[in-house]
Chains A and B, each alone.
Chain A
Amino acid sequence: MNYKNLLKIAVRALVRNKLRAILTMLGIIIGVASVIAMLAIGEGSKRSITDQVSSMGTNMIMIMPNMQRRGGVSLGASSSMALRYSDVVTLRNESAYLAGISPEVRASGQVIYGNENTQTTIYGVSDEYLEIRKLKVGSGRLFNDSEMRSMAKVCLLGQTVVENLFGENSDPVGLTIRIKNLPFLIIGTLEDKGESGMGQDQDDLILAPWTTVQRRLAAIDYINGIYASAVSEDKSSLATEEITEILRRTHKLKESEEDDFRIMSQSELIETMSNITDIMKYLLGAIAGISLLVGGIGIMNIMFVSVTERTREIGLRMSIGGRGQDILRQFLVESIILSILGGALGVIFGYLIAKGAGGLMNLTTFVSTQSVVLAFAVCFIIGVFFGWYPARKAANLNPIDALRYE
C-alpha cells in the first residue's frame, strides 16, 4: 500500500469516528496543556522571586553574629553580642572589596502620633545603609554626621508607618512622633518599596542614626548586624572571604574556634531562593506529570476499547486484501495524526492557561521551549504507542476470527 492510500484510509477512519478521535485527542490535549501551564507558572514564579531578591541589591553582604547553639540550646547572650561598631570601622579601613558599610541596630516598639499609634521596627543605621539596601529618600533628607555623633532624636519613616500614623499621601516631615515615649523629629520619608519576594512589607520601618537607637532605644553597647555592599556582584565572594579573614583576626579566634559571625551574601540568597523555587517548579512539574499520566491512561483506554470495537473492521479489511502491516500502519498513522493534532492544541491551550493563570496570580509566566518539547514528546510517544500496540493483536488474527469477533 502506498502512503497516499494509507493516509486517505487513516483520515477516513478518523472522520468516520469523530467522537472517538476527539476523546482520544482530549487526553493528549489535557496532558500537554497541563505540563506546559504548570511549568510556565513554576518558571514564572521562580523568575519573579529572583527578580525581587535582586531588586534588594545583588551585591549586598550581611554580617550577623553567629548564634551558636548546641543541641538546640542557645549558648547564652554573649554570642549575640559578637559584633561591635569597631568591626565596622576595621572593615571600612581594611577591606579592598567593600563599597559601603553600615551598622544595624534594631529596636521594636510602639510609635505614637496624636491618637494614632503603630508597632514597628526602628533600624539604627549609618547614612550608607540606604545605598546598600536600595532604599531612597522620598521627601525630606537623611541624617548627617553630626546628628549621628550627637545621638540626635531624628528619624525617617517608611511608607507603611506614614500611612498608619498620618493617613495616605501625607507628608509628615517636620512633625514629631513619640517612639517608646521619646520624641523624635521626622526629617524625611522613604520611597515606597513594596513587598519582598517572601511577602514581607519592606515599607514597615523607621530609620534613625545607629547611635541614637543603640543608646536611647535598645540600650545596648553592641550592634545587631553589619550591612555592606561589595564593589560589584562578582566580587562578593572575594569580599566574603576577606571579611571572614579580617573579623577572625580582630576577634582573635583560634584556628580551632568557629566563626562568631555569619556572613550571607545576596548572591547566595538568590541561589537559595532559586533552589526553593526550583523545588516548587518540580512540584508543579510532578503534578503536571500526574495529569500527563492520567491523560496517557485516557488515551490508552480509548485506544484499547476502540481496537476491540474495530476488530470486525480489521477483519473486513483483511478479508478484502489488507495485510497485517497495512492494518498496523493505518492505526499508526491514525494515532500519529491524533497525537500531532492533540499535541498542537495542547500547546496552544497550555500557553493560554499559563497566560490566564499568570494574569490571575499577577505573575509573568514563561512557556519554555523545553517544556513544550517535553510535553509534546511524551504525549506523542504515549499516543502513538497505545494506538499501535492494541492493534497488533487484532492484525495477527485470522481474518475470519477478527470478523467474528464479539
Chain B
Amino acid sequence: MSNTIIEIKNLRKDYHIGEVTVHALRGVDLQIKENEFVAIMGVSGSGKSTMLNILGCLDKPSNGDYLLDGVDVKTMNRDELARLRNRKLGFVFQAYNLLPRTTALENVELPLFYNSKIKSKERYDRAVNALEAVGLKERMHHMPNQLSGGQQQRVAIARSLVNDPVLILADEPTGNLDTRTSFEIMELFQDLNEKGRTIVYVTHEPDIAKFATRNVVFRDGRIQRELVVSERSYAREILKTLPVENIEEFDA
C-alpha cells in the first residue's frame, strides 16, 4: 500500500465579486496516492483550475481540509507555503509562464535560487540535467522567443522538475499545443511518472486524459465521477503511428 500524498475533505472555494458569490468548488473529497498519474477533467468553468491552484498552494480554500504529505496546509503561513512550493511542488502552466529575455537554463535555474542551501555549481548541474530530461540540453542558451510552443512547455516542465518535487501539477499543459506536440508532452509526463513521480494534470480533452491512470471528472464544483482508466494510451506508441510530416509545431 503506497502513501497518500493528497488528502482533501469537503473542500470549498467561493469567489466574491461585489454582491455576487461564485461557488467554484462546492465540497470536494479527493485522495491521491504516491506515484499516481491523475487527470482532472470537466467542462470549462467546472472548477478544475481552482482545484489545481489549491493543490499547488497558489490559492487558499474557503473551507475544508487539505493535507499535503500529511501536513495540514491551513496551519501554514505565507512563507511556509512558499517554502513548500519551492521544495515539494512543481507547477506547469498552460501559458508556460517563462521569464522573457531569459535563457532556458536561467528559467530552469530559477526555483533553485530560492533555496539557499543549493550552491551555484549544483544549481547549474541540476538545471542542465532537468533540461536533458526534457530533451532540450542543446537549447539551454536559447531565449523563450527562439523556442517553439512545445519547447517552451518542455522548459517549463524542466523548471517544475528541477527541485525534485514530490508532486507535479499541470494546468492544461497541452492546451496551447497541436496534437503531436501534446502527445510528446504526455510522453514526457508518462516517462516521469514511470520513474516514480506523482503527477496531476488538468485537461478537458478525453484523448489527453487517457494517458493518466485515473480520471477525476468535475462538474459544477463537485466531483461527478472518478474512474480508473481501463484502456490506457501510451504516448510513445501513438507517436510512432503518426505521420512524420505532421511534425510542425504550433507556436502560441
Contacts and interface: CB of A to CB of B under 8 A. Distances in A.
Interface of A: 1-2, 4-5, 8-9, 12, 16-17, 312-313, 316-326, 398-400, 403
B58 A321 contact: no
A2 B116 contact: yes
B183 to A, nearest CB: 26
Interface string B14-25: 000000000000
A319 B79 contact: no
Contacts of B99: 16, 313, 316
B83 A323 contact: yes
Contact of B114 (A16, A326, A398, A399): A326
B146 interface: no
Interface string B157-179: 00100010000000000000000
Interface of B: 53, 56, 58-60, 78-79, 82-83, 85-87, 91, 93, 97, 99-102, 106, 110-111, 113-116, 120, 159, 163
A319 B83 contact: no
B82 A321 contact: yes
B139 to A, nearest CB: 18
A134 B93 CA distance: 86
Main secondary structure of the interface of A (DSSP, over half): helix
Contact of B58 (A17, A313, A400): A400
6 contacts: A16-B99, A16-B101, A17-B101, A323-B82, A323-B114, A324-B82
Contact of B59 (A4, A16, A324, A398): A398
A177 to B, nearest CB: 82
Contact of A322 (B56, B58, B91, B114): B114
A17 B101 CA distance: 8
A321 B163 contact: yes
Nearest to B116: A2
Given A313-B99, A319-B56, A324 B79 contact: yes
B114 A403 contact: no
Contacts of A318: 82, 85
Contact of B159 (A17, A320, A323, A325): A320
B113 A5 contact: yes
Contacts of A17: 101
Task: In the A-B complex, list the 4 residue pairs whose CB atoms are closest, starting with the nearest.
Answer: A321-B86, A400-B58, A320-B111, A321-B114
B116 A320 contact: no
Contacts of A9: 113
Of B83, B106, B113, B114, most buried by chain A (CB within 10 Å of CB) is: B113
B102 A12 contact: yes
Of A12, A321, A403, most buried by chain B (CB within 10 Å of CB) is: A321
B59 A400 contact: yes
Contacts of B78: 323-324
Contacts of A316: 97, 99
Given A319-B58, A322-B82, 12 more contacts: A1-B113, A2-B116, A8-B113, A316-B97, A319-B56, A320-B110, A322-B114, A323-B79, A323-B83, A400-B58, A400-B59, A403-B97
Contacts of B82: 318, 321-324, 326
Given A1-B113, A5-B113, A321 B102 contact: no
